[in-house]
Amino acid sequence: MLIKNGDEILSTMERRYERELQEMGDRISLERRKLGLTQKQLADAIGVSEKYMTKIERGANISANAIISIFRPLYMDPSYLFTGNPTLSKAPIIIRKLSVLTDEQYRAIMQTIDQFIVVNEKLSE
């Protein structure tokens, strides 16, 4: 009886692990498509083959190196990859996106943010 319960527990854990890998793959695929990247482009960006990238998006085991490499080109929050829930702080993602802008583009974005803050302050009065 103990062996049967152990096998059931192991089977449940394996199914959960496979489901979590599939969900991670789905999130990677979603973020890649949002950015308009092909699997090949993302694979090249993280240094893996297109075939391996396809497997990742289908829920295959993903190496630690691939996980670490995937955050930057997708501007992905690590907690979102693992849990599906973004963290409260988006600062690292925003900083990375702002870092590629020209000075003029950066100033325009900052002015827009300032305008949103003013509007929010007025709404909360």
Q: Which domain holds residue 58?
A: 2-85
Q: Is the domain of 117 the same as that of 72?
A: no
pLDDT tens digits, 46-60: 999 999 999 999 998
Tell me how far apart the alpha carbons of residues 16 and 18 are, in angstroms, rounded to a whole number: 5
Q: Is the domain of 17 the same as that of 75?
A: yes
Number of domains in the chain: 2
Domain at 46, CATH number: 1.10.260.40
Burial group, residue 55, by CB count within 10 angstroms (0-12, 13-18, 19+): middle
pLDDT tens digits, 2-59: 556 767 777 788 888 889 999 999 999 998 998 889 999 999 999 999 999 999 999 9
Predicted model pTM: 0.64
